Amino acid sequence: MKMTGAIISHYFWKSEQGNHARFVVNGSFFFIEPDIAITAYVALAEARSYPRRVYAEDYFYFTSEIEHFASQNKDKGGIQCIRLEREWLKEYPNRNITEIHFPQPLSSDFFTVSKKKPENGHYIICEGYDHKDFLKIEDDPSEMNFVFISKREAAKIQLFRQGAFIEDIRTDDCIYAEMLEIEKIDVLYTTCFPNISMIGGPILDYQTHEVLGVLSHETDDAFKAHEGLRGVKLIL
């Protein structure tokens, strides 16, 4: 299976009721090389914090166990999530993508980037992670760079695939343009169900399953049922 993963973000915020902290699936990513993954710039940008909601740390979740990161906790029936080191990132806000360069190979089965040009009417598959609830995460006592998620909690995180179409391609602003200083870029308007935690996942050619683009941002109005997630071309 080609490797797509979930970004779990630890964030905290203040309210009249006090201080709060939660772990939640904040986006998705996918591998294009054994040690290189792609996500949307907005998914890991430090500037994505809001005035009363601040992301403290990010973690990478893989559905299959990776032997390089085998924990002493594996007998507990859970999965390790690797803590992000920001020096792994190469960010390209002008393209709304980020490359994640892991310190060692993690995936033996990765996506191929398509040489096709996305076009209006292109039949596609959009892939990314759905989440059902806030997550309970434990520190991994055997490894400083990991946290541990039980299988019960992992069941809340589900890989979601949907067949869709590219409805339009036009040079446009994304809704995070001002906050993240993203200039106008070619935006792929898709009919993919607007699930925000899928942002950063791949847009695949339906026939070849090669990557055409990256799901990059939500719609201007998430309550409009006919509007799907938007994406960008994957330009490396």
156-188 tens-digit pLDDT: 888 999 999 999 998 866 555 555 556 677 889
User: Residue 191, Cα to own-chain centre: how many angstroms?
Assistant: 18
The model carries a pTM of: 0.85
| Cross-sheet strand order for the sheet of 18-33 | 89-92, 97-101, 36-40, 18-33, 4-15, 53-61, 78-83, 146-150, 138-139
62-107 tens-digit pLDDT: 765 555 455 544 555 677 788 899 899 999 888 889 999 998 888 8
d(CA 73, CA 57): 21
User: Residue 139, Cα to own-chain centre: how many angstroms?
Assistant: 22
d(CA 23, CA 141): 18
109-143 tens-digit pLDDT: 899 999 988 999 999 999 999 876 778 777 765 66
Residue with tokens 């899928």: 198
The average confidence (pLDDT) of the chain is: 81
Instruction: Write down the pLDDT at residue 131.
Output: 75
185-202 tens-digit pLDDT: 788 999 998 888 999 999
Residues 6+ apart with CB under 8 A from 87: none
| CATH numbers and ranges of domains, the chain | 4-233 (2.40.10.120)
Instruction: Write down the pLDDT at residue 144.
Output: 64
In b/e form, how buried is each residue of 126-155, taking b as 16+ CB within 10 angstroms? bbbbbbeeebebeebeebeebbbbbeebbe
